[in-house]
Structure 1
Amino acid sequence: MNRIQSNNTRLINRIVLIFFVVVNFVWLVLPFLMAGLWSLVDPQHPWSYPDIFPPVLSFERWHYVWENTALKEAMLNSYTIAPIVSLIAITLALPTAYAFGRMEFRGKKIAELITLIPLVIPGMLIALFFSAVLIQLNISNPMIGIIIGHTVMTLPYAIRILSSGFSAVPQDLIDASRDLGASKLTTFKDVYLPMLKPAFLASIIFCLVKSLEEFSISFVIGSPDFITVPTILYSFLGYSFIRPNAAVVSIILLIPNVILLLIIERLLKGNYLSQSTGKVICPQKVRLYSNFIQGLSSVFHRA
Protein backbone atom coordinates (compact mmCIF):
# COMPACT_ATOMS: atom_id res chain seq x y z
CA MET A 1 0.00 0.00 0.00
CA ASN A 2 2.77 2.41 0.94
CA ARG A 3 4.63 1.53 -2.25
CA ILE A 4 1.54 2.36 -4.34
CA GLN A 5 1.11 5.70 -2.57
CA SER A 6 4.81 6.46 -3.08
CA ASN A 7 4.56 5.67 -6.79
CA ASN A 8 1.44 7.85 -7.11
CA THR A 9 3.21 10.70 -5.33
CA ARG A 10 6.20 10.44 -7.66
CA LEU A 11 3.91 10.37 -10.68
CA ILE A 12 2.01 13.46 -9.51
CA ASN A 13 5.25 15.30 -8.78
CA ARG A 14 6.59 14.41 -12.20
CA ILE A 15 3.41 15.59 -13.93
CA VAL A 16 3.46 18.87 -11.98
CA LEU A 17 7.14 19.40 -12.84
CA ILE A 18 6.58 18.71 -16.54
CA PHE A 19 3.56 21.04 -16.57
CA PHE A 20 5.58 23.76 -14.85
CA VAL A 21 8.46 23.42 -17.34
CA VAL A 22 6.13 23.43 -20.37
CA VAL A 23 4.16 26.47 -19.17
CA ASN A 24 7.34 28.43 -18.41
CA PHE A 25 8.83 27.51 -21.76
CA VAL A 26 5.71 28.61 -23.67
CA TRP A 27 5.16 31.72 -21.55
CA LEU A 28 8.73 32.94 -21.04
CA VAL A 29 11.34 31.18 -23.16
CA LEU A 30 9.47 30.84 -26.46
CA PRO A 31 8.62 34.57 -26.88
CA PHE A 32 12.23 35.49 -26.12
CA LEU A 33 13.50 32.97 -28.68
CA MET A 34 11.04 34.25 -31.28
CA ALA A 35 12.10 37.84 -30.67
CA GLY A 36 15.74 36.80 -31.03
CA LEU A 37 15.07 35.02 -34.33
CA TRP A 38 13.02 37.91 -35.73
CA SER A 39 15.76 40.38 -34.81
CA LEU A 40 18.25 38.35 -36.88
CA VAL A 41 16.14 38.07 -40.05
CA ASP A 42 18.10 39.29 -43.05
CA PRO A 43 16.25 42.08 -44.95
CA GLN A 44 17.12 40.47 -48.29
CA HIS A 45 15.69 37.10 -47.24
CA PRO A 46 12.31 37.55 -45.48
CA TRP A 47 11.04 34.92 -43.05
CA SER A 48 7.64 33.65 -44.13
CA TYR A 49 5.54 30.50 -44.35
CA PRO A 50 6.37 27.62 -44.77
CA ASP A 51 9.91 28.24 -43.42
CA ILE A 52 10.23 27.08 -39.81
CA PHE A 53 13.38 29.15 -39.24
CA PRO A 54 14.74 32.27 -40.96
CA PRO A 55 16.52 31.29 -44.18
CA VAL A 56 19.44 33.68 -43.51
CA LEU A 57 20.58 35.18 -40.20
CA SER A 58 22.36 38.52 -39.96
CA PHE A 59 22.78 41.56 -37.71
CA GLU A 60 21.64 43.93 -40.45
CA ARG A 61 18.45 44.81 -38.56
CA TRP A 62 20.44 45.69 -35.44
CA HIS A 63 22.74 47.91 -37.47
CA TYR A 64 19.80 49.57 -39.24
CA VAL A 65 17.86 50.28 -36.03
CA TRP A 66 20.97 51.62 -34.31
CA GLU A 67 22.04 53.89 -37.17
CA ASN A 68 18.73 55.03 -38.69
CA THR A 69 16.34 55.47 -35.78
CA ALA A 70 16.32 57.60 -32.65
CA LEU A 71 17.17 54.59 -30.48
CA LYS A 72 20.40 56.12 -29.13
CA GLU A 73 18.56 59.26 -28.03
CA ALA A 74 15.75 57.16 -26.54
CA MET A 75 18.19 55.00 -24.57
CA LEU A 76 20.00 58.09 -23.29
CA ASN A 77 16.68 59.57 -22.15
CA SER A 78 15.44 56.34 -20.55
CA TYR A 79 18.68 55.55 -18.72
CA THR A 80 18.99 59.15 -17.53
CA ILE A 81 15.45 59.38 -16.20
CA ALA A 82 15.32 55.96 -14.49
CA PRO A 83 18.10 56.57 -11.88
CA ILE A 84 16.74 60.04 -11.11
CA VAL A 85 13.25 58.63 -10.61
CA SER A 86 14.60 55.85 -8.37
CA LEU A 87 16.47 58.26 -6.10
CA ILE A 88 13.50 60.64 -5.80
CA ALA A 89 11.06 57.78 -5.17
CA ILE A 90 13.26 56.23 -2.47
CA THR A 91 13.73 59.60 -0.76
CA LEU A 92 10.01 60.38 -0.79
CA ALA A 93 9.07 56.85 0.29
CA LEU A 94 11.28 56.74 3.40
CA PRO A 95 9.01 58.67 5.84
CA THR A 96 5.86 56.83 4.74
CA ALA A 97 7.62 53.46 4.76
CA TYR A 98 8.91 54.12 8.28
CA ALA A 99 5.40 55.01 9.45
CA PHE A 100 3.90 51.89 7.89
CA GLY A 101 6.70 49.62 9.10
CA ARG A 102 7.37 50.85 12.65
CA MET A 103 4.30 52.76 13.84
CA GLU A 104 0.72 51.89 14.74
CA PHE A 105 -1.99 54.48 14.15
CA ARG A 106 -5.66 54.68 13.32
CA GLY A 107 -6.40 54.24 9.63
CA LYS A 108 -3.06 52.58 8.85
CA LYS A 109 -4.60 49.84 6.70
CA ILE A 110 -6.63 52.39 4.73
CA ALA A 111 -3.53 54.52 4.18
CA GLU A 112 -1.62 51.48 2.92
CA LEU A 113 -4.42 50.73 0.45
CA ILE A 114 -4.49 54.35 -0.76
CA THR A 115 -0.79 54.19 -1.64
CA LEU A 116 -1.56 51.28 -3.99
CA ILE A 117 -4.10 53.25 -6.07
CA PRO A 118 -1.64 54.05 -8.92
CA LEU A 119 -1.19 50.30 -9.42
CA VAL A 120 -4.87 49.55 -10.07
CA ILE A 121 -5.82 52.51 -12.29
CA PRO A 122 -5.05 52.05 -16.02
CA GLY A 123 -1.79 53.74 -16.95
CA MET A 124 -3.21 55.67 -19.90
CA LEU A 125 -5.96 57.13 -17.70
CA ILE A 126 -3.40 58.28 -15.14
CA ALA A 127 -1.28 59.78 -17.91
CA LEU A 128 -4.19 61.80 -19.34
CA PHE A 129 -5.20 63.24 -15.98
CA PHE A 130 -1.58 63.83 -15.04
CA SER A 131 -0.94 65.79 -18.23
CA ALA A 132 -3.89 68.03 -17.36
CA VAL A 133 -2.39 68.63 -13.90
CA LEU A 134 0.96 69.57 -15.45
CA ILE A 135 -0.77 72.06 -17.75
CA GLN A 136 -2.50 73.65 -14.76
CA LEU A 137 0.84 73.89 -12.94
CA ASN A 138 2.44 75.41 -16.07
CA ILE A 139 5.10 72.67 -16.27
CA SER A 140 5.95 72.48 -19.96
CA ASN A 141 9.31 70.70 -19.83
CA PRO A 142 8.59 67.11 -20.93
CA MET A 143 11.56 65.62 -19.09
CA ILE A 144 10.50 67.16 -15.77
CA GLY A 145 6.92 66.04 -16.37
CA ILE A 146 8.00 62.47 -17.14
CA ILE A 147 10.23 62.35 -14.05
CA ILE A 148 7.35 63.48 -11.85
CA GLY A 149 4.96 61.03 -13.49
CA HIS A 150 7.35 58.08 -13.23
CA THR A 151 7.99 58.95 -9.58
CA VAL A 152 4.26 58.79 -8.86
CA MET A 153 4.04 55.40 -10.57
CA THR A 154 7.06 53.94 -8.73
CA LEU A 155 6.28 55.28 -5.24
CA PRO A 156 3.92 52.38 -4.32
CA TYR A 157 6.68 49.85 -5.02
CA ALA A 158 9.26 51.78 -3.00
CA ILE A 159 6.88 52.31 -0.07
CA ARG A 160 5.80 48.68 0.03
CA ILE A 161 9.32 47.22 -0.11
CA LEU A 162 10.85 49.69 2.34
CA SER A 163 7.97 49.33 4.83
CA SER A 164 8.56 45.56 4.85
CA GLY A 165 12.24 46.24 5.46
CA PHE A 166 11.53 48.61 8.35
CA SER A 167 9.11 46.16 9.98
CA ALA A 168 11.75 43.40 9.82
CA VAL A 169 14.37 45.32 11.84
CA PRO A 170 14.72 43.58 15.26
CA GLN A 171 13.30 45.67 18.08
CA ASP A 172 16.04 44.55 20.49
CA LEU A 173 18.67 46.41 18.47
CA ILE A 174 16.60 49.59 18.57
CA ASP A 175 16.04 49.24 22.33
CA ALA A 176 19.76 48.63 22.89
CA SER A 177 20.59 51.73 20.89
CA ARG A 178 18.20 53.86 22.93
CA ASP A 179 19.40 52.40 26.25
CA LEU A 180 22.97 53.31 25.37
CA GLY A 181 21.98 56.91 24.68
CA ALA A 182 22.29 56.93 20.91
CA SER A 183 20.49 59.73 19.09
CA LYS A 184 17.79 59.05 16.51
CA LEU A 185 20.23 59.83 13.71
CA THR A 186 22.80 57.40 15.14
CA THR A 187 20.12 54.75 15.56
CA PHE A 188 19.03 55.14 11.97
CA LYS A 189 22.61 55.09 10.66
CA ASP A 190 23.90 52.20 12.78
CA VAL A 191 20.75 50.09 13.25
CA TYR A 192 18.35 50.62 10.39
CA LEU A 193 20.68 51.18 7.44
CA PRO A 194 22.69 47.92 7.73
CA MET A 195 19.45 45.92 7.97
CA LEU A 196 17.74 47.88 5.19
CA LYS A 197 20.40 47.37 2.51
CA PRO A 198 18.55 44.53 0.73
CA ALA A 199 15.27 46.47 0.86
CA PHE A 200 16.96 49.62 -0.47
CA LEU A 201 18.59 47.76 -3.34
CA ALA A 202 15.41 45.86 -4.21
CA SER A 203 13.27 49.01 -4.21
CA ILE A 204 15.83 50.90 -6.31
CA ILE A 205 15.90 48.11 -8.90
CA PHE A 206 12.10 47.85 -8.95
CA CYS A 207 11.86 51.60 -9.54
CA LEU A 208 14.47 51.37 -12.31
CA VAL A 209 12.59 48.58 -14.08
CA LYS A 210 9.22 50.31 -13.73
CA SER A 211 10.59 53.61 -15.05
CA LEU A 212 12.38 51.94 -17.97
CA GLU A 213 9.25 50.14 -19.16
CA GLU A 214 6.68 52.89 -18.47
CA PHE A 215 4.98 53.83 -21.72
CA SER A 216 1.74 55.72 -21.03
CA ILE A 217 3.18 58.74 -19.21
CA SER A 218 6.22 58.89 -21.50
CA PHE A 219 4.00 58.86 -24.58
CA VAL A 220 1.31 61.30 -23.42
CA ILE A 221 3.69 63.83 -21.87
CA GLY A 222 6.83 63.42 -23.97
CA SER A 223 5.71 62.71 -27.54
CA PRO A 224 6.74 63.72 -30.10
CA ASP A 225 9.69 65.78 -28.82
CA PHE A 226 10.91 63.57 -25.96
CA ILE A 227 11.19 59.85 -26.72
CA THR A 228 12.07 56.81 -24.62
CA VAL A 229 12.74 53.17 -25.50
CA PRO A 230 9.11 52.05 -24.89
CA THR A 231 7.84 54.87 -27.14
CA ILE A 232 10.03 53.70 -30.01
CA LEU A 233 8.97 50.09 -29.42
CA TYR A 234 5.28 50.99 -29.57
CA SER A 235 5.85 53.02 -32.73
CA PHE A 236 7.26 49.90 -34.41
CA LEU A 237 4.26 47.92 -33.18
CA GLY A 238 1.74 50.59 -34.21
CA TYR A 239 1.41 52.76 -37.30
CA SER A 240 4.77 51.64 -38.75
CA PHE A 241 4.64 47.96 -37.85
CA ILE A 242 7.98 46.31 -38.66
CA ARG A 243 8.32 43.09 -36.70
CA PRO A 244 12.14 42.62 -36.97
CA ASN A 245 12.80 46.21 -35.85
CA ALA A 246 10.34 45.82 -32.98
CA ALA A 247 12.12 42.59 -31.99
CA VAL A 248 15.46 44.42 -31.83
CA VAL A 249 14.07 47.19 -29.60
CA SER A 250 12.18 44.73 -27.39
CA ILE A 251 15.36 42.74 -26.71
CA ILE A 252 17.25 45.95 -25.92
CA LEU A 253 14.47 46.84 -23.46
CA LEU A 254 14.16 43.33 -22.05
CA ILE A 255 17.76 42.32 -21.32
CA PRO A 256 18.53 45.05 -18.71
CA ASN A 257 15.20 44.37 -16.99
CA VAL A 258 15.93 40.64 -16.78
CA ILE A 259 19.38 41.32 -15.34
CA LEU A 260 17.94 43.71 -12.75
CA LEU A 261 15.22 41.24 -11.76
CA LEU A 262 17.81 38.47 -11.36
CA ILE A 263 19.71 40.77 -9.01
CA ILE A 264 16.50 41.32 -7.02
CA GLU A 265 15.95 37.57 -6.83
CA ARG A 266 19.49 37.19 -5.53
CA LEU A 267 19.00 39.92 -2.93
CA LEU A 268 15.73 38.56 -1.58
CA LYS A 269 16.92 35.07 -0.73
CA GLY A 270 19.60 33.30 1.25
CA ASN A 271 21.84 35.29 3.53
CA TYR A 272 20.49 38.63 2.29
CA LEU A 273 16.98 37.74 3.39
CA SER A 274 18.08 36.34 6.74
CA GLN A 275 20.14 39.43 7.50
CA SER A 276 17.32 41.77 6.56
CA THR A 277 14.55 39.97 8.48
CA GLY A 278 16.44 39.13 11.64
CA LYS A 279 14.69 35.76 11.82
CA VAL A 280 17.73 33.55 11.17
CA ILE A 281 20.51 33.51 13.73
CA CYS A 282 23.91 32.87 12.18
CA PRO A 283 27.51 33.52 13.30
CA GLN A 284 27.83 36.58 11.06
CA LYS A 285 24.72 38.06 12.62
CA VAL A 286 25.90 37.34 16.17
CA ARG A 287 29.16 39.11 15.39
CA LEU A 288 27.18 42.01 13.90
CA TYR A 289 25.12 42.36 17.09
CA SER A 290 28.24 42.08 19.27
CA ASN A 291 30.17 44.69 17.27
CA PHE A 292 27.15 46.96 17.26
CA ILE A 293 26.70 46.80 21.04
CA GLN A 294 30.43 47.29 21.63
CA GLY A 295 30.52 50.25 19.27
CA LEU A 296 27.56 51.93 20.91
CA SER A 297 29.02 51.25 24.35
CA SER A 298 32.29 52.96 23.43
CA VAL A 299 30.41 55.95 22.03
CA PHE A 300 28.28 56.14 25.16
CA HIS A 301 31.26 55.96 27.52
CA ARG A 302 33.19 58.61 25.58
CA ALA A 303 30.15 60.88 25.83
Structure 2
Amino acid sequence: MSEKSWNRLLAIGLGLVLIVWLVVPFAMAVLWSLVDPDKAWSYPDLLPQKLSFRRWTEMWETTNLAVAIANSYTLAPIVACATLMLAAPTAYAFGRLEFAGKSVAQFTALLPLVLPGFVIALFFTALLNRIGIYNKFLGIVIGHTVLFLPYAIRILSVSYSLVRQDLIDAARDLGASRWARFSAAYLPVLKPGILAALVIVFIQSIEEFALSFVLGSPDFTTVPTILYSYLGYNFIRPNAAVVSLILVVPNIILMLLFERLLKSNGAVALGGKG
Protein backbone atom coordinates (compact mmCIF):
# COMPACT_ATOMS: atom_id res chain seq x y z
CA MET A 1 0.00 0.00 0.00
CA SER A 2 1.36 3.41 -0.98
CA GLU A 3 2.20 6.18 1.47
CA LYS A 4 -0.67 8.27 0.12
CA SER A 5 -3.14 5.46 0.90
CA TRP A 6 -1.77 5.09 4.43
CA ASN A 7 -2.13 8.84 5.00
CA ARG A 8 -5.71 8.70 3.76
CA LEU A 9 -6.55 5.79 6.06
CA LEU A 10 -4.90 7.59 8.97
CA ALA A 11 -6.93 10.72 8.26
CA ILE A 12 -10.15 8.69 8.10
CA GLY A 13 -9.28 6.93 11.35
CA LEU A 14 -8.54 10.20 13.13
CA GLY A 15 -11.79 11.64 11.79
CA LEU A 16 -13.77 8.68 13.16
CA VAL A 17 -12.06 8.97 16.54
CA LEU A 18 -12.88 12.68 16.61
CA ILE A 19 -16.52 11.99 15.79
CA VAL A 20 -16.86 9.32 18.47
CA TRP A 21 -14.94 11.28 21.08
CA LEU A 22 -16.36 14.78 20.55
CA VAL A 23 -19.23 15.04 18.08
CA VAL A 24 -21.39 12.17 19.35
CA PRO A 25 -21.28 13.15 23.07
CA PHE A 26 -21.96 16.79 22.18
CA ALA A 27 -24.90 15.83 19.94
CA MET A 28 -26.30 13.59 22.68
CA ALA A 29 -26.02 16.43 25.20
CA VAL A 30 -27.93 18.73 22.83
CA LEU A 31 -30.66 16.13 22.31
CA TRP A 32 -31.01 15.42 26.05
CA SER A 33 -31.22 19.14 26.81
CA LEU A 34 -34.15 19.45 24.37
CA VAL A 35 -36.18 16.53 25.72
CA ASP A 36 -39.60 17.86 26.65
CA PRO A 37 -40.41 17.39 30.38
CA ASP A 38 -43.81 15.87 29.48
CA LYS A 39 -42.37 13.26 27.09
CA ALA A 40 -39.56 11.18 28.57
CA TRP A 41 -36.89 9.74 26.27
CA SER A 42 -36.52 6.07 27.09
CA TYR A 43 -36.13 2.65 25.51
CA PRO A 44 -37.10 1.63 22.81
CA ASP A 45 -37.35 5.19 21.36
CA LEU A 46 -34.38 5.91 19.11
CA LEU A 47 -34.98 9.66 19.30
CA PRO A 48 -36.93 11.87 21.74
CA GLN A 49 -40.66 11.93 21.14
CA LYS A 50 -40.84 15.69 21.50
CA LEU A 51 -38.22 18.44 21.45
CA SER A 52 -38.62 21.80 23.14
CA PHE A 53 -36.76 24.51 25.04
CA ARG A 54 -38.94 24.11 28.14
CA ARG A 55 -36.12 22.43 30.02
CA TRP A 56 -33.88 25.45 29.42
CA THR A 57 -36.49 27.98 30.55
CA GLU A 58 -37.43 25.94 33.62
CA MET A 59 -33.80 25.54 34.62
CA TRP A 60 -33.25 29.28 34.31
CA GLU A 61 -36.41 30.21 36.22
CA THR A 62 -36.49 27.59 38.97
CA THR A 63 -32.83 27.01 39.87
CA ASN A 64 -29.87 29.08 41.02
CA LEU A 65 -28.27 28.82 37.57
CA ALA A 66 -28.15 32.57 36.82
CA VAL A 67 -26.37 33.28 40.12
CA ALA A 68 -24.00 30.35 39.56
CA ILE A 69 -23.06 31.67 36.09
CA ALA A 70 -22.43 35.13 37.53
CA ASN A 71 -20.28 33.64 40.30
CA SER A 72 -18.25 31.49 37.89
CA TYR A 73 -17.60 34.29 35.42
CA THR A 74 -16.68 36.70 38.20
CA LEU A 75 -14.23 34.26 39.77
CA ALA A 76 -12.47 33.15 36.58
CA PRO A 77 -11.03 36.48 35.33
CA ILE A 78 -9.86 37.44 38.83
CA VAL A 79 -8.19 34.06 39.28
CA ALA A 80 -6.60 34.23 35.81
CA CYS A 81 -5.08 37.68 36.43
CA ALA A 82 -3.91 36.85 39.96
CA THR A 83 -2.36 33.59 38.79
CA LEU A 84 -0.54 35.31 35.93
CA MET A 85 0.96 37.98 38.20
CA LEU A 86 2.08 35.47 40.82
CA ALA A 87 3.47 33.05 38.24
CA ALA A 88 5.57 35.61 36.34
CA PRO A 89 8.56 35.90 38.77
CA THR A 90 8.84 32.13 39.21
CA ALA A 91 8.48 31.55 35.48
CA TYR A 92 11.24 34.09 34.82
CA ALA A 93 13.57 32.28 37.22
CA PHE A 94 12.81 28.90 35.65
CA GLY A 95 13.07 30.18 32.08
CA ARG A 96 16.02 32.59 32.27
CA LEU A 97 18.19 31.73 35.28
CA GLU A 98 20.40 28.85 36.31
CA PHE A 99 20.65 28.07 40.02
CA ALA A 100 21.23 25.14 42.35
CA GLY A 101 18.14 23.01 42.91
CA LYS A 102 16.32 24.34 39.85
CA SER A 103 14.96 20.94 38.81
CA VAL A 104 13.71 20.28 42.35
CA ALA A 105 12.00 23.67 42.43
CA GLN A 106 10.36 22.99 39.06
CA PHE A 107 9.08 19.64 40.32
CA THR A 108 7.79 21.20 43.54
CA ALA A 109 5.91 23.86 41.58
CA LEU A 110 3.95 21.10 39.82
CA LEU A 111 2.80 19.36 43.03
CA PRO A 112 -0.70 20.93 43.08
CA LEU A 113 -1.38 19.05 39.82
CA VAL A 114 -0.59 15.71 41.48
CA LEU A 115 -2.72 16.06 44.61
CA PRO A 116 -6.43 15.13 44.38
CA GLY A 117 -8.74 18.12 44.23
CA PHE A 118 -10.71 17.19 47.34
CA VAL A 119 -7.50 16.79 49.36
CA ILE A 120 -6.45 20.32 48.42
CA ALA A 121 -9.97 21.59 49.12
CA LEU A 122 -10.05 20.10 52.63
CA PHE A 123 -6.57 21.47 53.34
CA PHE A 124 -7.57 24.95 52.22
CA THR A 125 -10.76 24.86 54.29
CA ALA A 126 -8.77 24.18 57.44
CA LEU A 127 -6.06 26.70 56.50
CA LEU A 128 -8.44 29.55 55.69
CA ASN A 129 -10.44 28.98 58.88
CA ARG A 130 -7.24 28.99 60.90
CA ILE A 131 -6.05 32.33 59.50
CA GLY A 132 -9.50 33.88 59.79
CA ILE A 133 -10.64 34.08 56.16
CA TYR A 134 -14.33 33.16 56.15
CA ASN A 135 -15.39 34.92 52.95
CA LYS A 136 -16.27 32.15 50.52
CA PHE A 137 -15.55 34.16 47.37
CA LEU A 138 -12.11 35.20 48.60
CA GLY A 139 -11.36 31.68 49.77
CA ILE A 140 -12.19 30.18 46.37
CA VAL A 141 -10.12 32.85 44.59
CA ILE A 142 -7.10 32.00 46.77
CA GLY A 143 -7.66 28.27 46.32
CA HIS A 144 -8.05 28.45 42.54
CA THR A 145 -5.01 30.70 42.23
CA VAL A 146 -2.79 28.24 44.09
CA LEU A 147 -4.34 25.26 42.32
CA PHE A 148 -3.73 26.62 38.81
CA LEU A 149 -0.37 28.32 39.37
CA PRO A 150 1.50 25.33 37.87
CA TYR A 151 -0.22 25.82 34.51
CA ALA A 152 0.78 29.48 34.29
CA ILE A 153 4.30 28.84 35.59
CA ARG A 154 4.92 26.10 33.05
CA ILE A 155 3.57 28.06 30.08
CA LEU A 156 5.38 31.29 30.97
CA SER A 157 8.63 29.43 31.72
CA VAL A 158 8.70 28.15 28.15
CA SER A 159 7.91 31.63 26.83
CA TYR A 160 10.69 33.23 28.88
CA SER A 161 13.17 30.61 27.69
CA LEU A 162 12.44 31.57 24.06
CA VAL A 163 13.43 35.21 24.53
CA ARG A 164 16.68 35.83 22.64
CA GLN A 165 19.51 37.16 24.78
CA ASP A 166 21.11 38.99 21.85
CA LEU A 167 17.99 41.16 21.48
CA ILE A 168 18.14 42.04 25.18
CA ASP A 169 21.84 42.87 24.93
CA ALA A 170 21.31 44.95 21.80
CA ALA A 171 18.55 46.97 23.44
CA ARG A 172 20.73 47.51 26.52
CA ASP A 173 23.71 48.61 24.41
CA LEU A 174 21.50 51.15 22.64
CA GLY A 175 20.63 52.70 25.99
CA ALA A 176 17.04 51.45 26.18
CA SER A 177 15.29 51.66 29.55
CA ARG A 178 14.10 48.54 31.33
CA TRP A 179 10.58 49.03 30.04
CA ALA A 180 11.85 49.62 26.50
CA ARG A 181 13.94 46.43 26.69
CA PHE A 182 10.95 44.50 27.96
CA SER A 183 8.69 45.89 25.20
CA ALA A 184 11.21 45.21 22.44
CA ALA A 185 12.75 41.88 23.47
CA TYR A 186 10.39 40.17 25.91
CA LEU A 187 6.82 41.20 25.16
CA PRO A 188 6.54 39.98 21.52
CA VAL A 189 7.66 36.50 22.60
CA LEU A 190 5.73 36.46 25.87
CA LYS A 191 2.42 37.62 24.42
CA PRO A 192 1.26 34.18 23.16
CA GLY A 193 2.28 32.59 26.46
CA ILE A 194 0.45 35.26 28.46
CA LEU A 195 -2.71 34.77 26.41
CA ALA A 196 -2.44 30.98 26.66
CA ALA A 197 -1.94 31.10 30.44
CA LEU A 198 -4.90 33.46 30.90
CA VAL A 199 -7.23 31.35 28.76
CA ILE A 200 -6.21 28.00 30.30
CA VAL A 201 -6.46 29.25 33.88
CA PHE A 202 -9.77 30.97 33.07
CA ILE A 203 -11.27 27.74 31.70
CA GLN A 204 -9.84 25.64 34.53
CA SER A 205 -11.39 27.99 37.09
CA ILE A 206 -14.76 27.87 35.32
CA GLU A 207 -14.77 24.06 35.28
CA GLU A 208 -13.26 23.35 38.73
CA PHE A 209 -15.65 21.54 41.08
CA ALA A 210 -14.02 20.08 44.19
CA LEU A 211 -12.58 23.23 45.72
CA SER A 212 -15.59 25.36 44.75
CA PHE A 213 -17.94 22.80 46.30
CA VAL A 214 -16.04 22.28 49.57
CA LEU A 215 -15.27 25.96 50.16
CA GLY A 216 -18.45 27.46 48.73
CA SER A 217 -21.35 25.17 49.58
CA PRO A 218 -24.11 25.68 50.38
CA ASP A 219 -24.22 29.47 49.97
CA PHE A 220 -21.82 30.07 47.07
CA THR A 221 -22.65 28.04 43.96
CA THR A 222 -20.86 27.79 40.63
CA VAL A 223 -21.92 26.12 37.38
CA PRO A 224 -19.97 22.87 38.08
CA THR A 225 -21.56 22.51 41.53
CA ILE A 226 -25.02 22.67 39.96
CA LEU A 227 -23.96 20.22 37.24
CA TYR A 228 -22.67 17.69 39.76
CA SER A 229 -25.88 17.94 41.78
CA TYR A 230 -27.77 16.65 38.73
CA LEU A 231 -25.19 13.91 38.17
CA GLY A 232 -25.11 12.75 41.79
CA TYR A 233 -27.75 12.49 44.47
CA ASN A 234 -30.36 14.27 42.32
CA PHE A 235 -29.62 12.59 38.98
CA ILE A 236 -31.67 14.19 36.17
CA ARG A 237 -29.99 13.64 32.82
CA PRO A 238 -31.79 16.34 30.75
CA ASN A 239 -31.07 18.99 33.41
CA ALA A 240 -27.44 17.87 33.57
CA ALA A 241 -27.25 18.18 29.76
CA VAL A 242 -28.51 21.77 29.92
CA VAL A 243 -25.94 22.75 32.55
CA SER A 244 -23.12 20.91 30.78
CA LEU A 245 -23.78 22.82 27.56
CA ILE A 246 -23.84 26.11 29.47
CA LEU A 247 -20.49 25.10 30.96
CA VAL A 248 -18.82 23.82 27.78
CA VAL A 249 -20.05 25.96 24.88
CA PRO A 250 -18.67 29.33 26.13
CA ASN A 251 -15.30 27.68 26.75
CA ILE A 252 -15.24 26.27 23.21
CA ILE A 253 -16.03 29.72 21.82
CA LEU A 254 -13.29 31.22 24.00
CA MET A 255 -10.74 28.71 22.73
CA LEU A 256 -11.72 29.41 19.09
CA LEU A 257 -11.39 33.16 19.68
CA PHE A 258 -8.01 32.60 21.32
CA GLU A 259 -6.81 30.57 18.35
CA ARG A 260 -8.02 33.25 15.96
CA LEU A 261 -6.32 35.96 18.02
CA LEU A 262 -3.01 34.12 17.93
CA LYS A 263 -3.23 33.72 14.16
CA SER A 264 -4.18 37.35 13.62
CA ASN A 265 -1.21 38.48 15.69
CA GLY A 266 1.09 36.28 13.64
CA ALA A 267 2.43 34.62 16.76
CA VAL A 268 5.60 32.69 16.11
CA ALA A 269 7.92 30.77 18.37
CA LEU A 270 11.41 32.15 18.55
CA GLY A 271 14.03 29.57 19.32
CA GLY A 272 17.16 30.07 21.42
CA LYS A 273 18.44 32.79 23.66
CA GLY A 274 21.13 33.96 21.26
TM-score, shorter chain, exceeding 0.5: yes
**Cα RMSD (Å) of the superposition?**
1.8
Matches within 5 A, 1:169-248: 169-248=163-242
Which residue identity does 1:65 align to in structure 2?
M
Task: Give the TM-score of the pair, scaled to structure 1.
Answer: 0.85
Quick one: which of 127, 132, 146 aligns to 1:138?
A: 132
Structure 1 unaligned segments of length 5 or more: list them.
1-6, 280-303
Contact 1:85 1:207 in 2 (8 A): yes
Q: How far apart, in 2, do the equivalents of 1:58 and 1:64 lie? A: 11
Paired residue for 1:112, among 91, 106, 111? 106
**Contact preservation (8 Å) 1:198, 1:272:** no
Q: Which AA in structure 2 matches 1:217? A: L
The whole-number CA distance in structure 2 between the counterparts of 1:258 and 1:61 is 22
Residue aligning to 1:290: none
8 Å CA contact retained: 1:198, 1:267: no
Contact 2:39 2:49 in 1 (8 A): yes
**Structure 2 runs not aligned, ≥5 long:** none
**Amino acid corresponding to residue 241 of structure 1 in structure 2:** F
Match 1:91 to one of 85, 90, 98: 85
Which string of whole-angstrom CA distances, capped at 9 and with x for unpartnered residues, describes residues 90-122 of structure 1? Answer: 110111111111111111111111111111111
Q: Whole-Å Cα distance in 1 between the matches of residues 200 and 96 of structure 2?
A: 22
Equivalent position amino acid for 2:72 in 1: S
Q: What is the CA distance between 1:189 and its match in structure 2?
A: 3.2
2-side partners of 1:256 and 1:19: how far apart? 28
In terms of Rg, which structure is larger?
A: 1
CA distance in 2, matches of 1:103, 1:228: 40
Moved more, 74-83 or 123-132: 123-132
Identity %: 58
275, 278, 283: which one aligns with 2:270:
278
**Structure 2: distance between partners of 1:278 and 1:97:** 17
Q: Look up the match of 1:67.
A: 61
- Find the aligned partners of 2:202 and 2:216 in 1 and give their Cα distance: 18
Could you list the per-position Cα deviations for residues 133-192 of structure 1 after superposition, in whole angstroms to 9, with x for gaps in the alignment? 111111111100000000011111111111111111122210111111223333223331
Is 1:14–2:8 an aligned residue pair? yes
Q: Deviations over 1:39-96 (max 9, x none)?
A: 0001111111111111111000000001110000000000001000011001101111
Residue 167 and residue 270 in structure 1: after superposition, are their counterparts in 2 closer, same or farther (change >3 A)?
farther
